[in-house]
Structure 1
Amino acid sequence: MLADFVSAICFLCNGAVWNTMKHSIIIADDDPHIITALKLLLKSESYDVSAVTSPEALLQSLKQRDYSLALIDLNYQKDTTSGNEGLDLIRAIKTLDEFLPIVVMTGFSSVDIAVAAMKSGASDFIQKPWDNDRLLSILQTQIRLGASEKQGGRLVEQNTLLRNELSSADTGIIAESVTMQRVLAQIEKLALSDMNILFTGENGTGKSMFADYLHSCSTRKSHAFISVNMGAINENLFESEMFGHVKGAFTDAKYTRIGRFELAQSGTLFLDEIGNIPLSQQGKLLRVLEDHQFEKVGSSKTIQVNVRLVSATNASLTELIRDGRFRQDLLYRLNTVEIKIPPLRDRVADIMPLAQHFLLTFASKYRLPSQGFAEDACGALKAYDWPGNIRELSHIIERAIFLCQDDHIGVKDLGLSDAKPCGESGYDFDNASLEDIEKYIISQRLNRYDNKAIETSASLGLSRSSYYRRLEKYKF
């Protein structure tokens, strides 16, 4: 302990002072020498430092003010070896502030204690006596991560207000699940940039709706949002559709046409089903993305264009590249950032709110009474695997309104009796590869634990590094 104190003093004398923002750190340790050493070290780094000597005092302090990080000991006067007091303290802290980063310290080297601390909610772990540089690096990293996570939480909370303030019509976006709230927070944050965005996900997940929402949140919202279904464009008319043509450019060019890029000037151009662009035309699209200019068909005049490009696909562009059907350099231009829209089966908390939304929408459209859902219908909707996602849910509710002859829509009105329930026979384990099964299980656990890394990795029996390697492998 004395060595820690001397080490901190020597660190100050050497003048190694980092420039940091004014963040607040609270220390909890029952050793006054440790507290003194840490205060000297952290105050020299411009941190606002508070210190307490018991778990009870720490919790009381957290109730009175906010901190950027908690640096806590795992052992106190009641128990000096097991770390149980510290583990209980971590769990108590998380009930007060789920976003507060917690770095734990202990004088007893134990991998088991470290693992237990991380499972309980700690962000990182350091052993006494500590290395000053390593400790400062850990604190700086965790404060940044904590601030980022907290900011994401603020964006989620602002989502409803933001959507209500939009000048456009109701987006129809319903996102009560934690998974979708995080997706919306990501979209809202990225909307402030001008980066190209690629939405990926299964058919029927609402990628075009989220692209529209991204535009509505951007600085370009006062300009046009132009949507193009690339699967519906004839290969021979691709240039004319995208870049326009002048009168007389070809046999049927009886008038000058403005292309989609020009229509989207200063706004957003959304290319849906981007994987359907013919290979022969992909180079022409790439040129516009690289040079921000094009010529209409039949014209030599170069037009400068300023658009934000957003695209979407349900196909695996990686597989298309491997098969020689999609240009890799074009993919690099399209997906500065990729946003994966989760399937409906992975956002169960949104199923009933969406069903209620569609019920009210169609009841109003057809001037029919809004019957509501019977209990068995609610259970069936939540259990169904939804291969067609939100689009399928919409069609089923629309049909059920007309089939229902009672006061409430029942399970028989939904027509789901022959469907495979999610989590029972909805996944073909017998014919799946080991990698497919692993990916499926990780996906289910992510949904169960609301994408919380510590809980998910612990339930799978994986270390943090192994867990994140799998997330990278399967692109979760």
Structure 2
Amino acid sequence: MTKTKASILIIDDDEDILLSAKLVLKKHYDNVITRNNPKEINQILSKEQIDVIVLDMNYRIGFNDGKEGLYWLKHILKINPKMVVILMTAYGEVELAVNAIKLGAFDFILKPWTNEKLLATVHAGLTLSRSNHKISILKHTNDTLLKSSDQQFGPVIGNSDEMQEVMNIIDKVSITDANIIVLGENGTGKQHLAREIHKKSSQNNGPFIHVDLGSLSESLFESELFGHKKGAFTDALEDKPGRFEMAEDGTLFLDEIGNLPLNLQSKLLTVLQDKKTSRLGEGIERPFNARLLFATNVPIHEWVAQGKFRQDLLFRINTVEITIPPLRARPKDITDFINHYLNIYSEKYQKSHLKITKEAMKVLQDHKWPGNVREIQHTIERGVIMADNNEILPTDFNLTIIPKGNEVLSNEFDNLNLQDIEKLLVQKAIDKYDGNISKAAKELGLTRAALYRRLEKFNL
């Protein structure tokens, strides 16, 4: 008979009772712990993940008032209010046991018990314990998902050869459990691609948990990823599962992994190797079952060579590498993104008849998009908001317009530093509008005062 994986703790000062209960329960559960002194409860709960506690109500010879049992019941529930505690009592103490249930005990067993009654009560207690655990995980998972509910992710956009190659790789690797790292510049859609991998995986019915490692301070790293026990630090007011637990049977996406300090890289590597986590303030190791995806915008292989990123960690996370090309390398996709976000924001701002003029479309198509897809999104939203009537004009986007045929300007940009480029753009805007400060400032996205300061700065 296959044993159920569960930890049952039995506490009684009678060694015969302990032995009898263990012999019965050991046939059905893989971990049955017995103790004859309730003072060992703290030590056990700090090291073991106990599912059910079977607790005697009396420990002093000649005393049958059950006060010790009530004391330890309250003590256990103070440590963990969700702990399932089953009391053992004699016939004459039934009323006392009923009162204990009002204090939070799950049930009671009368001595001497029948094996069937003992097994049935422990089984019912285990069912409740696991239900409580799942509810706790789901609660925190739901809270995490709600915080990012404003982020809407539609289908992956891009018909260029470069993106079709990326999607072909995704189709191959999504159905596996291989660790995947997504590389690409800021704004290229790494999180979007990670969600697409999750949707196509065998664990798509589970949660998708996104963690921005770049935004986590060292003090929050372990608490957020691995969870914490109530009282582990000042603000730990309740037990909280970590993101690894929340992602159970789903996908955990660790974004911006390149930003992790070396000491935290070491901690993460240990968890990935052992496939177990331990909550802060708790010595219990919890195995996890989640698909792991990673992403970074840094040149990760160069950072390994420079000693900024652990090579053994990179080996662990990059079974498959997927690189998203920047938007400037796939100009064919620009129009698709423009139309996609135009539809979204025209509907959002109730401007359904809005069109982009030919001149404005040319500006968008000629732009280099250093901010990639994110920049297109924000640019189109601004254009929709600023547009008058039913047309979006070039000036509605607030993009710096550089004539495509201006080879002199193009060549100059290849070699100038940031200050020289700024001076050149200011000069071009002034020339374009024949010295009209208001128009030049609007073209550059500056106030008149800010433009005057730059004119003075560059002695123009």
The aligned amino acid for 2:254 is: L
Q: In structure 1, the residue corresponding to 2:362 is in which secondary structure?
A: helix
Partner of 1:266: 249
Give the alignment of 1:148-163 within 5 angstroms: none
User: Partners of 1:323 and 1:199 in 2: how far apart?
Assistant: 21
**Equivalents in 1 of 2:376, 2:405: separation in Å?**
15
Post-superposition, which runs of at least 4 consecutive aligned residues in structure 1 deviate over 3 A?
417-424, 426-432
Aligned runs of 1:374-389 on 2, under 5 Å?
A: 374-389=357-372
Matched, 1:332 2:315: yes
**Is it true that 1:397 corresponds to 2:371 in the alignment?**
no
Residue 418 of structure 1 deviates from its aligned partner by: 3.7
- Structure 2 distance, partners of 1:389, 1:427, is 23
Looking at structure 2, the residues matched to 386 and 426 of structure 1 have their Cα atoms a distance apart, in angstroms, of 18
Contact 1:249 1:298 in 2 (8 A): yes
Give me the whole-angstrom Cα distance separating, in 2, the residues matched to 1:226 and 1:257: 15
Letter in structure 1 aligned against 2:305: R
Any idea what the Cα deviations from partners look like across 1:13-35, whole Å, max 9, x if unmatched?
xxxxxxxxxxxxxxxxxxxxxxx
Matches within 5 A, 1:5-404: 171-404=154-387
Q: Is the 8 A contact 1:198 1:337 kept in 2?
A: yes
Match of 1:450 in 2: none
Deviation of 1:316 (Å): 1.3
C-alpha spacing 1:284/1:388, structure 2 compared with 1 (3 Å): same
Q: CA deviation at 1:428?
A: 4.9
| Aligned mates of 1:292, 1:204 — CA distance in 2 | 31
In structure 1, stretches of 5+ residues that fail to align are: 1-167, 433-476
Q: How big is the alpha-carbon RMSD for the aligned residues of Structure 1 and Structure 2?
A: 2.4
Amino acid aligned to 2:363: A
Residues 214 and 422 of structure 1: CA distance in aligned 2, closer, same or farther (over 3 Å): farther
Q: Which moved more, 1:247-256 or 1:212-221?
A: 247-256
Q: Secondary structure at the match of 2:266?
A: helix
Counterpart contact for 2:271–2:277, Cα < 8 Å:
yes
Q: Tell me if structure 1 keeps the 8 A contact 2:258–2:309.
A: yes
- The 1:237–1:283 alpha-carbon spacing in structure 2 relative to 1, beyond 3 Å, is same
Amino acid at match of 2:356: F
CA distance, structure 1, for counterparts of residue 340 and residue 369 of structure 2:
17
Q: Distance in 1 between matches of 2:405 and 2:369?
A: 8
Paired amino acid for 2:262: L
Distance in 2 (CA, whole Å) between partners of 1:285 and 1:422 is 51
Per-residue displacement from partner, 1:280-336 (whole Å, max 9, x unpaired)?
Answer: 111111011111112111111111111111111111123333343321111111111
- 3-state SS, counterpart of residue 392 of structure 2: coil
Secondary structure of 1:221's counterpart equals coil
CA shift digits 1:339-392 (9 cap, x unpaired): 000111112121112111111111111222341222222222111100001111
Identify if the C-alpha distance between structure 1 residues 248 and 276 changes in structure 2 by more than 3 Å, giving closer, same or farther: same
Tell me which residue corresponds to 1:18: none
TM-superposition CA deviations, 1:171-210 (whole Å, max 9, x none): 2421221221221121121101111111111110010000
Q: Match of 2:210, as an amino acid?
A: S
How far, CA to CA, are the matches of 2:274 and 2:340 in structure 1? Answer: 44
Alignment TM-score, normalising by the size of structure 2: 0.54
Distance 1:171 1:407, change over 3 A: closer
Greater Rg by CA = 2
Residues 211 and 270 in structure 1, CA contact (< 8 A), matched pair in contact too: yes
CA distance in 1, matches of 2:237, 2:194: 34
Shift of 1:276: 1.4
Superposition deviation, residue 414 in structure 1: 2.4
Residue of structure 2 equivalent to 1:407: 390
Paired with 2:310 and 2:264, the residues of 1 have a C-alpha distance of 10
Deviation at 1:415, TM superposition (A): 2.6
Between the aligned residues of both structures, percent identity stands at 43
Contact 1:345 1:422 in 2 (8 A): no
Contact 2:353 2:390 in 1 (8 A): no
Distance in 1 between the 2:416 and 2:351 partners?
Answer: 45
Scaled by the length of structure 1, the TM-score of the pair is 0.53
Relative to structure 1, the CA distance from residue 395 to residue 195 in structure 2 (aligned partners, 3 Å threshold; closer, same or farther) is same
Distance 2:404 2:262 in 1: 39
Distance 1:179 1:327 in 2: 30
For residue 426 of structure 1, report the CA deviation from its aligned partner: 8.1
In structure 2, relative to structure 1, the CA distance for the partners of 1:299 and 1:334 (3 Å cut) is: same
Aligned to 2:430: none
The amino acid across from 1:411 in the alignment is P
Q: Distance in 2 between matches of 1:419 and 1:328?
A: 43
Amino acid at match of 2:321: E
3-state SS of 1:355 partner:
helix
**Cα distance change on mapping 1:399 and 1:254 into 2, 3 Å:** same
Residue identity in the other structure for 1:348: P
For the 8 Å contact 1:282–1:327, the answer to whether it is kept is yes
Q: Which amino acid aligns with 2:325?
A: P
Distance 1:230 1:427, change over 3 A: farther
CA contact (8 A) 1:384 1:420 kept: no
> What is the letter of the counterpart of residue 305 of structure 1?
F
Query: Can you list the C-alpha shifts for 1:63-88, whole angstroms capped at 9, x where unaligned?
Result: xxxxxxxxxxxxxxxxxxxxxxxxxx
